[in-house]
Structure 1
Amino acid sequence: MTDPLSALEAAVQALPDDRTLRVRYAELLADAGRHGEAIEQASVVLREAPEDEAAKAVVRRAALAAAEPPGSTPAAAPPDDRHEDIDWSELEASIANPTEPPFVERVVAEHDEELVAEAGETAEDADPVAELRRETVRLADVGGLEVVKRRIDESFLQPMAHPEIAAAFGKKLRGGLLLYGPPGCGKTFLARAIAGELGAHFISVTLSDVLDRFIGESEKNIHRVFRTAREHAPAVLFFDEMDAIGAKRSGNTFSSFRNVVNQILVEMDGVDSQNDGVYVLAATNHPWEVDAALKRPGRFDRMVLVRPPDDDAREAILRVHLRRRPIEGIDLGDLVRRTKGFSGADLEHLVTTAAEKAMTESIRTGSVRPMRMDDMRAALKEVKPSIGPWVQTARNVAEYSNGSGEYDDMVEWLREEKQL
């Protein structure tokens, strides 16, 4: 007879995205006393679906069983209506960030051990793969957005570019800047340009670089990227999609996500933090979803709205995407007028759609013909601005959640656009 665990293991390998199947496999592993493996499988599910109650139940049950003293008799898994006297939140917090993960074992590749040996560190302290490069782009390379570039220059770049004056006023060379605005409007490109202006290394961090299925490893990853930035100062440490990495702790029921925010706070202004020469930038479409503690003084205390591209920026973006394509009779002025409210990503999609129409006809006729305004007009009937839902949310925030004035620049833009 086939072992049910082996059968489920094979099924999970064949269908790795089936969360229900993986949770069932984790439950059977816990039943079999393989608690570390059960936690690992449940953590894979929680990484994709933090709200999955069945996976969280497996983690709690397996962690509790693994923590039983040797020789003790583990309690049977109770139904949901039992053990009401147990504070599950406290129990979860107690196992969420141990000094050394006691429930699983990690396999360290040989090349990782060699790199660690050279650095004089243990395998668990080895830096994860992080993108570290020198940026050559500058703010001048960003088309349009003069208001945004001026605010960045005045509030962030000028103080950082004059360290002797900053030192005279007792200001340390560190800073946090949060870029926010509609999706697809160039926040990441602006962050790269800031690094280029400062002549600093650029380290880009996304959610996938931080989150780890092993308990306590996400916090270690945060520490490692900050340590890399300190070792390569001056450096710009850039967190993309900050609303995912630093989401409100009050809305996160799974403690690993809360602990990521806690670790960022420690790294940014903890007693032992040495962040001189480390400039921490972040980008988000939804700053109202970022934990409030991250936006307090000394952290991301400066926020700049990255608006949708204005007329000059839209013309520059269209020129870039049309530059290497065969074109004929393109009226940029007309296109700029017709694309008000388009994001940079929308403009790229518009040009790509028009190019596909010209390409399709070229294939049909067997002769390459250039893109024309007819193709662009046809594409405009299909491609619409994508920032509408964001504008609606921003309008609600501006009307009901701006008591502190932190979104005043967004309110000003909404009024200019007659959206408020």
Structure 2
Amino acid sequence: LDRRQQARLVQACLGLTEAEASNALAKAIVQAGGVLGSDAVEAVTAEKKQIIRKSGLLEYYDNTELIDNVGGLDTLKEWLRKRVRAFTDEARTFGLPAPKGILLVGVQGCGKSLIARSVASMWRLPLLRLDAGRLFSSLVGSSEENLRQAIKTAESVAPAVLWVDEIEKGFSGVGSSNVSDAGTAARVFGGFITWLQEKQKPVFVVATANDISNLPPELVRKGRFDEIFFVDLPNAAERADIWRIHLAKRNRDPNQFDLTTLAMASEGLSGAEIEQAVIAGLYEAFDANRPLTMNDLLDVLNETVPLSTMMREELEALRAWARQRARNASTQR
């Protein structure tokens, strides 16, 4: 192992007991044929996976998504790339603090959750998902204790990425908490944002939100997150990139298709809708026992009503909000 790999391995072992770290490294040596190789980080991560599963409050996700499978969002990708070594001793010596996290706000189906999964793979860190609904319990004081236990578990396997999906739904009852649940939701939310502000352990939080009208204002003020990114509908170049990714993912040669025409024909579609168009086109070709053609995809697009058309007013309100409060995840169009 070179010096940088050694530092990464030491970081990966943080949060494990001596016995747990020893077992993980011994397993890595056996699997590598008697040498301690670069795969040792993955072995240590697997040990942490068992700890997460025992907690019951957090979900562990395998890092299978690659940042290259995310179409567009070049500004956000570059921001993340610059922080690949952010949790190393090298960064601390340079005077850099560990990054706190990001809030991704934007249109449904445009890659927010995909980014959360791919950043953990990019940084080679464990990915944990916090479902706020799991925190709440009927017993007095249990919800607050569940939050403390979830935070303790996340910090015990740090450095790690903590993904909080659709955070506005998880804490949607905060405004009426004093009436509806005797203040439980407000106390849990207060504990969470205080931890966001004050946390010392290297847990990088990736929170996503679709509905900004339900976002508590305390969550978006400066200091909670390093940056708030707005994820808009993909532009023409990004749509062509998304078509290329999903065609290649399903064993089709993107060079056999006119990606520019597909990008123009799919204006207003999200990345998720483009993926579904590819799948629908494949079903048409499969049913007819022939290869997938451009006409299959164009026919599907002609029958598709984009979510952006059905929710035009909400989308315009979201863009107006983001212009004043967030950074665009893509290069300005």
Q: TM-score, normalised by structure 1?
A: 0.56
Q: Within 5 A, what are the aligned runs for 1:21-40?
A: none
Q: Secondary structure at the match of 2:60?
A: strand
Q: Which residue of 1 aligns with 2:295?
A: 374
Give how far 1:390 is off. Answer: 5.3
Contact kept, 8 Å, 2:87 with 2:202, in 1: the verdict is no
Q: Within 5 A, what are the aligned runs for 1:255-404?
A: 255-269=183-197, 273=199, 275-323=200-248, 324=250, 330-360=257-287, 362=288, 368-388=289-309, 392-396=313-317, 399=320
Q: Within 5 A, what are the aligned runs for 1:209-224?
A: 209-224=134-149
Q: Within 5 A, what are the aligned runs for 1:221-236?
A: 221-236=146-161
Question: Structure 1 residues 348 and 142, CA, compared in 2 at 3 Å: closer, same or farther?
Answer: closer
Q: Which residue of 1 aligns with 2:123?
A: 198
Gaps of 5+ in 2: 1-50
Question: Structure 1 residues 325 and 150, CA, compared in 2 at 3 Å: closer, same or farther?
Answer: closer
Give how far 1:198 is off. Answer: 2.6
Contact kept, 8 Å, 1:203 with 1:237, in 2: the verdict is yes
Q: Which residue of 2 aligns with 1:407?
A: 326
Q: Percent identity over the alignment? A: 25
Q: In the aligned structure 2, how far is the partner of 1:346 from the partner of 1:185?
A: 9
2:86 to 160, 172, 181: 160
Q: Secondary structure at the match of 1:353?
A: helix
Q: Which residue of 2 aligns with 1:4?
A: none
Q: Which residue of 2 aligns with 1:145?
A: 73
Q: Which residue of 2 aligns with 1:22?
A: none
Give how far 1:236 is off. Answer: 0.8
Q: In the aligned structure 2, how far is the partner of 1:351 from the partner of 1:199?
A: 30
Q: In the aligned structure 1, how far is the partner of 2:231 from the partner of 2:64?
A: 21
In the TM superposition, what whole-angstrom CA distance separates every residue of 1:335-355 from its partner, at most 9, and x where no partner exists? 112112211110122122222
Question: Structure 1 residues 165 and 331, CA, compared in 2 at 3 Å: closer, same or farther?
Answer: closer
Q: TM-score, normalised by structure 2?
A: 0.69
Q: Which residue of 2 aligns with 1:54?
A: none
Contact kept, 8 Å, 1:308 with 1:341, in 2: the verdict is yes
Question: Structure 1 residues 282 and 251, CA, compared in 2 at 3 Å: closer, same or farther?
Answer: same
Q: Secondary structure at the match of 1:249?
A: coil
Q: Secondary structure at the match of 1:250?
A: coil
Q: In the aligned structure 1, how far is the partner of 2:71 from the partner of 2:307?
A: 20
Contact kept, 8 Å, 1:223 with 1:267, in 2: the verdict is no
Contact kept, 8 Å, 1:315 with 1:332, in 2: the verdict is yes
Give how far 1:129 is off. Answer: 4.9
Question: Structure 1 residues 327 and 174, CA, compared in 2 at 3 Å: closer, same or farther?
Answer: closer
Question: Structure 1 residues 377 and 134, CA, compared in 2 at 3 Å: closer, same or farther?
Answer: closer
In the TM superposition, what whole-angstrom CA distance separates every residue of 1:22-46 from its partner, at most 9, and x where no partner exists? xxxxxxxxxxxxxxxxxxxxxxxxx
Larger Rg computed on CA atoms? 1
Question: Structure 1 residues 296 and 163, CA, compared in 2 at 3 Å: closer, same or farther?
Answer: farther
Q: Secondary structure at the match of 1:359?
A: helix
Q: In the aligned structure 1, how far is the partner of 2:245 from the partner of 2:69?
A: 12
Q: Which residue of 2 aligns with 1:101?
A: none
Question: Structure 1 residues 388 and 281, CA, compared in 2 at 3 Å: closer, same or farther?
Answer: same
In the TM superposition, what whole-angstrom CA distance separates every residue of 1:319-360 from its partner, at most 9, and x where no partner exists? 343343679964322111211221111012212222233334
Q: Which residue of 2 aligns with 1:244?
A: 169
Q: In the aligned structure 1, how far is the partner of 2:276 from the partner of 2:154?
A: 35
Aligned positions, number: 276
Letter in 1 for 2:186: R
Contact kept, 8 Å, 2:231 with 2:328, in 1: the verdict is no
